[in-house]
Amino acid sequence: MEENTATQTTPMSTANGKVNVINDDSFIAEVLEIDTPVLVDFMATWCGPCKIMGPIFEEIAPEYEGKVKFAKLDVDESPGVASALQIESIPTFMLFNGKTIYAAGVGAMRPDALRKWIDEGLEFIASNPEPELETEAETEAQA
């Protein structure tokens, strides 16, 4: 049996060119608390369109090494995050940068359409950076 080396099951905090498996317990650390944009595929093993997107996701991930971290979260095994984000259809794709969702989409896509969607999301992130939080001292100085 040939081992699939394109899926990374150990948590990684970088855009490593692999599809990283995340869950409710690792979502905050692996998605919201890193400095790299993260594309999350919310999926389930029984979902037909998810089965189509899995290989496409793995094919595209190496093309974005160093730019985007690819992650997948099984909504049946980790319902907490899916519920909190109101994921109602799968596959759902969300492009995060920090604690902000910059793009979201539902359904299977062809590889070129997914690439275009990711590139447009990255352009949007570049032109709309997250606001920097003011420190307590800066807030008091403005008062």
Among this protein's residues, is 50 annotated catalytic?
Answer: yes
For β-strands 92-97 and 19-22, DSSP reports them as unpaired
The edge-to-edge listing of strands for the beta sheet with 7-8 is: 7-8, 19-22, 69-74, 38-43, 92-97, 100-106
Q: How far, in Å, CA of 36 to CA of 42, rounded?
A: 18
Active-site entry in 50, 90, 94, 125: 50
Q: Per the residue annotation, which of 22, 40, 47, 68 is the catalytic one?
A: 47
As a whole number of angstroms, the distance between CA 80 and CA 82 comes to 5
Tokens of 10: 């150990």
Whether 61 and 115 have beta carbons less than 8 Å apart is answered as no
Known catalytic residue at 47: yes
**Catalytic residue annotation:** 47, 50
